[in-house]
Structure 1
Amino acid sequence: MGLGALSAVSLKEAREEAEKWRAVARQGKDPIKERERIRREAAKADHTLTVVAKEAFAARQAELKDDGKAGRWFSPLELHVLPKLGNVPIEEIDQQDIKNTLAPIWHSKGETAKKAMNRLGIVFRHGAAMGLDVDLQATMKAKALLGKSRQVRKNIPAMPWGEVPTFYESLDDGSVTHLAFRLLILTAVRSRPLRFIHLDELHGDTWVIPADKMKTGKEFHVPLSSEAQRIIEQAAAFERDGYLFPNVRKGVISDANMSRLMERQELEARPHGFRSSFRTWCAEATDTPREVAEMALAHETGSKVERTYRRTDFLEQRRVLMERWAQHVTGQSAEVVKLVAK
């Protein structure tokens, strides 16, 4: 049994190694086989689920919004899988392990559990690409063992569009939260780009949201109604570091600021639900073409080929639509609007 090259191992080290392996032999074990077993265990320790998951995440970061810094891609694994299986070599994980890990949330937090399962599948495929002996069907077999989730998906509560003008009128104290809420309703955008709106993004009657603030990962142009521009002018008085809606101490206002406002008024609806209020108004109170209404929410429609050839964002049609929405929100108009897609 070799103990290493003469030039690399000193006489003292050789004697210590020799005594260590003689002790193994005295226990009735084969020193060479025992050394190989220890090497294999060390190699497995380098390929635990946590290690491979982090490598898989790093490989996908370029595809994720803001390089995945928000943590949404990794969090289902970090919260619900890695605490139980993180230190286990990925080659040793089977469908039973996955089933036992996700069973506690499979029916109570179905969407989160499905995301965790999806991420696990990606991690296992990454492990296979690394040359590891993983079971690529483990997640599929785990799903079969778990069965169909009983959780019923609930939509975010939305305010009926007919009630929006009354709520909008109540946002009248001129505070950062009220102004942010008004602009959220008027533009029908998501909370994050609204909360982080910056003066550099405003170009007259158009708000250009950078790609890294959009869920789609693509730059988006929002037409600003006269009312929206008025709100922005008022918010400019609170501007700090270029951000229109700063928090009291640092950063910008949080989602909780606006959610708590609705909770205090004992409203079931939530801020994100105003996107649904706007979309339902488009369908029920206007003749807006579907493509225009969906584009107003930055939703993609049609096939990939169709989107390739349709090189318009319907900005001018949306400009008319958002002006009409502002008129409805401010109680100035109740007429049915007809928009024709060009």
Structure 2
Amino acid sequence: MGLGGYPTLSLASARSVAQRWRTVAAEGRDPVKEREAEARAARREDVSLAVLTADAFEARKAELKGDGKAGRWLSPLNGHVLPKLGKVPITDIDQRDIRDTLAPIWHTKADTARKAMNRLNIVFRHAAALGLDVDLQATEKAKALLGKSRHKPKHIPAMLWSDVPAFYSSLEEPSLTNLAMRLLILTGVRSKPLRFIRLEQIEGDVWTIPGEAMKGRKGATSDFRVPLSQEAQRVIDLALPHFRNGFLFPNTRQGVISDMTLSRMMERRKLDARPHGFRSSLRDWLAEATDAPHEVAEAMLGHVTDSGVVRAYRRTDFLEQRRVLSEQWASYVCGGTREVVSCVSTR
């Protein structure tokens, strides 16, 4: 146990301090822990909720996509909890404090409130692991005080799969927005990886999306391969004149087109559906018009299914089956058959 350095700590002071901690040890107590407890008591701000939240985030950010740089893990706390409770020692916070803090959004912003409550629970457990005297049941007690949320979640509006071919045919003009929308429909990917697509990610008829760009995935080993139908490859070729700074869909200044670009295009057309809803259109088509097994259909959307143990043994990403289905989807979207199709290749 270090006592301090000379000349900041004199020899006489060192002897006095050493004797004190020897006495503590002789009484069966841990001198190091006793000193840490005294330091925490002397600096109450070090155990404030804000400090413990930052510490908990640092400990867990490696588990988050992009190491949590987007700030989404912290945003529910930064927006609704820390402004009120950030300076309060976490050891002083109880269920009533949490209830009073989240009550204004418990029914109106239920998803944000739920995330804030979950993050708080993690921070409290982190504090307990550090040896702080916190109530690990505080968040559960707060939920009991708040009651069941009256909020009813609203799903993102999606276009019926039977209406997709007509909409797709209306995108014939090779503008940047139309081409991005067409590729979004054909591949069933989310908006972000679509908007940030780079040519080096495409090899032949396969587009490999980095794992960190995929929701629920992290790291190079979680890269997601997207089979590109002939129609999708044609759309990419049509987009090449727009290529700039490594991006296939750049905006007019720098970076890429925004998510709102696609949404506003659909709004201008007086459509209720939104771009993200085409994933639902594709999933419904897979369920109602193909014989694709559940695992293959979910893989078409890049969903992570089953437990980690199952995934550890099942290494396939069903690329060949998805390649067949992608061609069939493209054929249907371009005005092809509505008959039930098989995901088994006939090649």
Scaled to the shorter chain, the TM-score interval is: 0.7 to 0.9
Between the aligned partners of 2:211 and 2:301, the Cα distance in structure 1 is: 15
Aligned to 1:245: 249
Aligned to 1:106: 106
CA-CA distance at 1:116 after TM superposition: 0.4
Between the aligned partners of 1:302 and 1:102, the Cα distance in structure 2 is: 33
8 Å Cα contact 1:289-1:340 kept in structure 2: no
Aligned to 1:174: 174
SS in 2 for 1:72: coil
CA-CA distance at 1:152 after TM superposition: 0.9
Q: Tell me the amino acid that sits aligned with residue 230 of structure 2.
A: S
Aligned to 1:257: 261
Between the aligned partners of 2:46 and 2:245, the Cα distance in structure 1 is: 45
Aligned to 1:30: none
Aligned to 1:71: 71
Between the aligned partners of 1:159 and 1:112, the Cα distance in structure 2 is: 27
Aligned to 2:61: 61
Matches within 5 A, 1:147-162: 147-162=147-162
* RMSD value, Cα: 2.1
Between the aligned partners of 2:303 and 2:145, the Cα distance in structure 1 is: 35
Between the aligned partners of 2:119 and 2:176, the Cα distance in structure 1 is: 38
Between the aligned partners of 1:55 and 1:256, the Cα distance in structure 2 is: 35
8 Å Cα contact 2:158-2:274 kept in structure 1: yes
Aligned to 1:163: 163
Aligned to 2:287: 283
8 Å Cα contact 1:50-1:87 kept in structure 2: yes
Between the aligned partners of 1:66 and 1:303, the Cα distance in structure 2 is: 22
Between the aligned partners of 1:131 and 1:294, the Cα distance in structure 2 is: 43
8 Å Cα contact 2:179-2:239 kept in structure 1: yes
Aligned to 2:87: 87
Aligned to 2:270: 266
CA-CA distance at 1:340 after TM superposition: 4.7
CA-CA distance at 1:312 after TM superposition: 1.1
Of 234-243 and 116-125, the range deviating more from structure 2 = 234-243
User: Under a length normalisation based on structure 1, what TM-score does the superposition of the two structures give?
Assistant: 0.86
CA-CA distance at 1:42 after TM superposition: 4.6
Identity among equivalent positions (%) equals 64
Change in CA separation of 1:39 and 1:306 when aligned onto 2, cut-off 3 Å: closer
- Structure 2: where are the runs of 5+ without partners? 1-6, 10-37
SS in 2 for 1:207: strand
How many aligned positions are there? Answer: 310
Q: Tell me the amino acid that sits aligned with residue 200 of structure 1.
A: E
Between the aligned partners of 2:304 and 2:45, the Cα distance in structure 1 is: 44
CA-CA distance at 1:249 after TM superposition: 0.8
Matches within 5 A, 1:1-342: 42-217=42-217, 218-340=222-344
Aligned to 2:18: none
Deviations 1:288-335 (A, max 9, x none): 111111111111333443322222111011000000000111113323
Deviations 1:116-156 (A, max 9, x none): 00000001111112222211111111011111111111211
Between the aligned partners of 1:87 and 1:261, the Cα distance in structure 2 is: 45
User: Under a length normalisation based on structure 2, what TM-score does the superposition of the two structures give?
Assistant: 0.85
CA-CA distance at 1:65 after TM superposition: 0.5
SS in 1 for 2:226: strand
Q: Tell me the amino acid that sits aligned with residue 244 of structure 2.
A: R
Q: Tell me the amino acid that sits aligned with residue 137 of structure 2.
A: Q
Between the aligned partners of 1:147 and 1:176, the Cα distance in structure 2 is: 48
